[in-house]
Amino acid sequence: MPEIRFKQTILECIMATEQDKLLEEVTNREYQYGFHTDIEMDMLPKGLDEEVIKEISRRKKEPEFMLEFRLEAYRNWLKMESPDWAHLKIPPIDFQDMIYYAAPKKKPQLESMDEVDPELRATFDKLGIPLDEQKVLAGVAVDAIIDSVSVKTTFRETLAEKGIIFCSISEAIQEYPDLVKKHLGSVVPPGDNFFAALNSAVFSDGSFVFIPKGVRCPMELSSYFRINAMNTGQFERTLIVAEDDSYVSYLEGCTAPMRDENQLHAAVVEIVALDRAEVKYSTVQNWYPGDKNGKGGIFNFVTKRGICKGDYSKISWTQVETGSAITWKYPSCVLMGDHTVGEFYSVALTNNYQQADTGTKMIHLGKNTRSLIVSKGISAGFSQNSYRGLVKVSKRAENARNFSQCDSLLLGDKCGAHTFPYLEINNNSAKVEHEATTSKIGEDQIFYCNQRGIDTENAVGLIVNGYVKEVINQLPMEFAVEAQKLLQISLEGSVG
């Protein structure tokens, strides 16, 4: 088996050097997306108390139940402490020295591209995110969230014809309060954990997706998150509801400008899948990771959880994590219905002084539930990269199956790669298998590439791309290319 994989890698090496000039382009670049956009902002002053929360809710013209939701979360949060169990060194965060609401002043109308703030459009163009009409052909609908407020949602009409709702969560709260009330907090309750509670109290925007019964969403839905203003925390909230027999694939991408100070990002994503529904959620996370000396960068504390509520439903998480100074993130599946399936595919790459503690939880509750975990960690520089995962089979979960494969690759002798799986099995018909390996990149493979004329840096990039292929293959095509480029950029300078 390894032999075959190696051959593939070599083939890719050769093909890539000949054809893919992109790779050369992206080396010698630091953080490509580190620019700052001057857009007039409508901000609340720094700090957090009940008044600030009431003000957020007021400005967003929210119904009463939302304010209650926020206040309950806030009161929970006050009683909680920042989690310290992860393999992370988190500097103290001053939650009062942060802005909890920042919206572009000229809120663009949604009817036409022309009405979008030109500067904002320029930002999108620089990002290369697919917002213009050409992308109709690519079948991508985008909800872009810049600093907390959803700016533009494309293709709403096409989607509306099928009864699909894809809009910002703020609009959803206005227009579909019943749906939001029913599902918001049903997967991640307001008091779930420290960061989720904070998010529930102050979230300013995010995406809402609703796929009605029997509908297959005809295009990939995509949102793009970007932190722009200084001293702002970004707290977006995403809610996806897939009714019986529906299908949706959702993509999330993130960037942030380069800044010296650390910025906080504490998002919550909730997914509800009803009978036979399937939801695929893909993330390419590329927040600013800080500079070579570990200065600046995003603190990414995210709670993502999906519930397979209906029988035969399926939720699949795919993530490519290359950014952020600190990542604390465990996209999870609660397999409540019978015959439900949860999947988690992850690539986490850390370089310089980045720290990542990421993994998943698979909670088997229903009968004949299955879960699969494929995690590929890559550590370089002085970084620390941990996989942390839980597979829990409850007493009533007959015939549960899980397979986990967690591999770590070390590039350099100053970094760390760690694996902390928890397997809690309370039913004897379960079959649960966990495997993990840690090793460094194969010198023989690099030499083989060298001998074929590929320099070491490119060889490492290519071998790493081979190593993560199983995960990358889960991404939609466009994202896959983007993800490979990102990996290449992030590895820059890691080979001595």
Partner 1 sequence: MVKIAEQDTSLLNLFNESRSLIEKDSSPLVNQWRTKAEEAFKQLGIPSNKVEAYKYTNLQPWFKAQYAYSFSENGYQGKIDEIFKCDVESMESHTVFMVNGKFIPGSNGNVLPQGVVIGSFSELAKKHSLIIEKYYSKIAPVTEDGMVALNTMFANDGIFIHVPAGKVVEKPIQIVNILTGEKDLMVNQRNLIVIEENAQARVLFCDHTLTQSRFVINSVTEAQIDATANLDFYNIQNQHNGTIQVGGYYFNQEKQSVLNANYFTLHTGIARNNIFARLGGEHAENHISGLYLIDKNQHVDNFSYINHAVPDCESNELFKGVMDDASTGAFTGRILVAKDAQRTNAYQSNNNLLLTENAKMNTRPQLEIYADDVKCSHGATVGQLDDNALFYLRARGISKEEANILLRFAFAYEVIEKIQMPELKEQIRELVEKRFRGELDKCDSCVVCGQVDKNAMRCV
User: Given the rule CB under 8 A, which residues bind partner 1?
Assistant: 85, 87, 395, 408, 410-440
> Are 462 and 485 in contact, with CB atoms under 8 Å apart?
no
484's enclosing H/E stretch is: helix 477-491
Residue of 214, 259, 208 lying closest to 238 (CA atoms)? 208
> Which residue blocks in 168-313 are alpha helix, DSSP H?
169-175, 177-183, 194-202
> Distance between CA 387 and CA 356 in Å, rounded?
8
Cβ proximity to partner 1: between 39 and 349 the closer is: 349
Nearest CB to partner 1, comparing residues 109 and 439 = 439
Query: How near is the Cβ of 382 to partner 1 at its closest, in Å?
Result: 11
CB of 390 to partner 1, least distance (A): 10
Closer to partner 1 at the Cβ: 113 or 495? 495
Structure-derived torsion over alpha carbons of residues 92, 97, 98, 100, reported in degrees to the nearest 10:
120
249 vs 386, beta carbon nearer partner 1: 386
What single-letter amino acid sits at 442?
G
Using an 8 Å Cβ cutoff, are 145 and 151 in contact?
Answer: yes
Least distance between partner 1 and beta carbon 421 (Å): 6
Nearer to partner 1 (CB atom), residue 249 or residue 490: 490
The token pair that represents 301 in the structure block: 């504390």
Say if residue 323 is exposed, middle or buried (CB neighbours under 10 Å; 0-12, 13-18, 19+): buried
Which is closer to partner 1, CB of 177 or CB of 412? 412
Identify residue 431 by its one-letter amino acid code: K
Supply the minimum distance, in Å, between the C-beta of residue 424 and partner 1. 5
Q: Tell me how far, at minimum, the Cβ of 181 lies from partner 1, in Å.
A: 36
- Shortest gap between Cβ of 2 and partner 1 (angstroms)? 13
The C-alpha atoms of residue 317 and residue 6 are separated, in whole angstroms, by 27
Least distance from partner 1 to the Cβ atom of residue 394, Å: 11
**Pair 253, 486: CB distance under 8 Å:** no
Token output for 82: 């920042």
Neighbours of 171 (CB within 10 A): 17
Choose between 63 and 416: whose C-beta lies nearer to partner 1: 416
Distance CA(152)–CA(47), nearest Å, equals: 28
The separation between the first and the last C-alpha atoms of the chain, rounded to the nearest angstrom, is: 29
Tokens describing residue 397: 């979960």
Minimum CB separation of residue 415 from partner 1 in Å reads 7
Query: Looking at beta carbons only, is 422 or 447 nearer to partner 1?
Result: 422
